[in-house]
Amino acid sequence: MALSAATPAQPKGATGCLVLADGTVIWGKGFGTTGSAVGEVCFNTAMTGYQEVMTDPSYDSQIVTFTFPHIGNVGANEEDVESRGLGAVGCIVREEVTPHSNFRARDEFVEWMKNHGKIGLSGVDTRALTRKIRLEGAPNAVIAHEPGGNFDVPALLKQAQEWSGLEGLDLVPNVSRTENEDWRGGHWQLGLGYTESNAERPHVVAMDFGAKDNIFRNLVKAGAKVTVVPGRSTFEEIMALKPDGVFLSNGPGDPAATGEYAVPVIKQLLDVDVPLFGICLGHQMLGLAVGAKTSKMHQGHRGANHPVQRVGAGWGDSQGLIEITSMNHGFAVDADTLPPEVEQTHVSLFDGSNCGIAVKGKKAFGVQYHPEASPGPQDSFYLFEKFIGGLSPE
């Protein structure tokens, strides 16, 4: 349903709404769980993988607007879940969710949303909402679903206006594991599920700032044995596990806020030359650890079609090569603040923002995008092989 700067009369049959902090009210049909949730409204341009998007912990405290109109038509299953019920608090879609039509489906998307405590809103002009976000930036809002259509719009508006937003917010405690976990399960294969390997492998300790499970599967596929540890793990706790390398995962929130406790640990790991590989939030905190700064983006990058170019020295024949990548981030490393000992390795061809760094003289690098491709293209799997290939078994 159309956007309005004022509060429009509630249409007949409206069982859901989105109330933006600027007073805009968007009506539609609610689905999933009932109630309300506050968050930042963003948009994702991926045509597939809506379950992976909705369970990506990087979307904590966010409401995802899908630009692809037919979301939910392949149903839901447990193999495509990327975390333990975490992720986005809600989603906004154009078309009403229809019964599934896919042999892998084990549940309808509407029921899956309800079972996972997430709110959906259908019947929305998602092109108009996306355009508003692109022009004005990602707004704070409340999404609500009430089957009887009874909404206290002024109260929802007050909630949206009083929410602090993501800037300055450390959300890692909401999504990180609280105990160490020896990861089991490799790459997925049709009919076989997630395979395992017990071979002798380099040991990677993965700091969980809100990781997607497919990241760990890709580390295993690339040849690693993986131990996942909480995002608040200390340097001593990590080194006690005798890592051959440390992985810094994706996650939600402001990297500067999470960096209050994570960056000192990363600096210590750099000091003793432990190989490091960071993605998304992990990449941003690696940037902070080497002296760069991060900042909030106007609208962020979220989708499975983002072109990234390899730049800088060391690429050989692949210098200038373009990768199509999967992204989900609202903060970025400011390339102008990188110190001389850090090289920019990748840039976005959408807006020129930083998408990769490498620390000269060390086995430490990071990329802004999600090379595990869940969902998305697999152009960037080489990064896992690059990281694992540079390690020696313990």
CB 373 within 8 A of CB 380: yes
In one letter, which amino acid is 171? L
Spatial neighbors of 69 by CB under 8 A, at least 6 apart, are 93, 94, 95, 126
CA distances from residue 49 to 44, 115, 226, 304, 321 in whole angstroms, order as listed: 11, 18, 25, 9, 26
C-beta separation of 381 from 390 below 8 A: no
**Secondary structure of residue 35 in the 3-state scheme:** strand
* CB-neighbour burial class of residue 253 (10 A; exposed 0-12, middle 13-18, buried 19+): buried
Report yes or no: 278 and 272 within 8 Å, Cβ to Cβ.
Answer: no
CB-CB contact of 207 with 249 (8 Å): yes
20 and 143 in contact (C-beta within 8 Å)?
no
- What is the sign of the dihedral through the CA atoms of 302, 304, 308 and 310? positive
Cα distance between residue 300 and residue 44, in whole Å? 10
Nearest residue to 148 (alpha-carbon basis) of 24, 265, 14: 14
CA distance linking residue 358 with residue 342, whole number of Å:
6
Q: What residues are labeled active site?
A: 280, 370, 372
Q: Distance between CA atoms of 296 and 232, rounded to whole angstroms?
A: 23
Provide the total of helices (H) and of strands (E) in the chain, helices listed first.
10, 19
With beta carbons less than 8 A apart as the criterion, state whether 368 and 277 touch.
no
